[in-house]
Amino acid sequence: MGVHNAGFRPLLVNEFAKRALETLTENGAAPRDPEDASMPKPGKGRPGLRAEGWPLVPGDVRRIPSFEFLKDAEVDVLAGGPPCQPFSLGGVAKGDEDERNMFPEMFRAIREMRPKAVICENVRGLLRPSFNPYFEYIKREISLPFVQRGEGATWEEHDAVLRKLLKDGSVDPSERYDVVHVPVNAADYGVPQIRHRVIIVAFRADLGVEWDKHKPDPGYSEAALIDSMHDGTYWKRYDDVPGIDLIRERVVATLPPASLVPDGKKPWRTLRDAIAGVDGNKPLPPVTVEQVRGKLVVDDIPDHMGWPGARAYAGHTPNELDRPAKTVKAGVHGVPGGESVMRLDDSTFDGTGYRYMTVRETARVMTFPDDWILAGPRGEKMRQLGNAVPVRLGEVFAEAVRAALDDAEGRA
């Protein structure tokens, strides 16, 4: 959706997870046979809304025999997030030895469709020192996707070949990609959530793209949020919240001093901002104790439903309303620990002062539009959101890639 919002139109979409497939179909994606090698029509869904017409291949990407039928379309962007469990701090961290590592399929797709650019999102665990040699190898594989690893060769042996070729510069630029990686915190790009990830961006070397001119700068900061709380501009938006003066006093007492020299950025967006509505969203109505205990939908708003049992304890700390939300995680059981619990302004709410975030609130934290339909039971909806890329983050980087490609084309 982020890439679509940036002006690209999907020629092919692949998804493995059953419930995510149902979600894409509910939002208008058009299922397609993996064996179909005809040129698909670009998806025509309106940016920011539905997946109308997105050609959707369900199932394991390895079942797609070839992507070469897309070569004639002169694909602008291949965008994806190869399953991250091999590298996640929450997984078993087997890295390249894990059978869930789908980077080889991304390399295959690059070889077979020859896109002008590649955008890849993954967990920050890729940057851990223990994975650094393999991560650098991944980037070199993206740089030289046509130099395939020989059968039976170790990745270290293949890496030595790639290093030599990159050093001597003998590879045709049309078969080489210039690759960079950008560590990001989604909150720095206007997402109301702390979410540390790494974005890999690559451009085909023969295009002469100047990425440094277009790389997105983080436009939001924690320091600017703290300053806005000290000077009162943050709180003015919430004058109608009961007890806001006491809430302000309590929150400000925990903050470091305001900046002596402001950084010129916008304040991080908070969970309170997400619920109150940003980017044109209307405020979500509050959830009552009765709606929590009865698992009731609030004001007929899809996925804005109470859920009982929220609590906090050591190692299970809740979200704070006046901070960006904690990282939304998929979790083995769909709804992980404190990441989906929020501390309320009313400390007496349901005898605890806590409640679970609704699915709709979580979708807002992931910057999905309110009319995006999520399929499956609550746990599966939360799992999909935890596995997703925040739409706004994807859009920021896709817009930068589009600008870089347009610039290169204009200079050609």
Output the DSSP codes for 76-110.
Answer: -EEEE----TTT-TTS---GGGSTT--HHHHHHHH
Sign of CA dihedral 314, 319, 324, 327: positive
Rounded to whole angstroms, how far apart are CA atoms 200 and 40? 27
How far apart are the C-alpha atoms of 137 and 82, rounded to whole Å?
Answer: 15
Half-sphere exposure of 205 (CA within 13 A, CB side): 16
Is 84 marked active-site? yes
What separation in angstroms does the CA of 387 have from each of 112, 304, 336, 337, 382?
26, 20, 13, 16, 9
For 18, 237, 238, the CA distances from 241, given in Å and listed in that order, are 41, 9, 5
- Report which residue type is found at 296: L
Of residues 1, 3, 84, 142, which has the active-site annotation?
84
DSSP 234: H
Residues with active-site annotation: 84
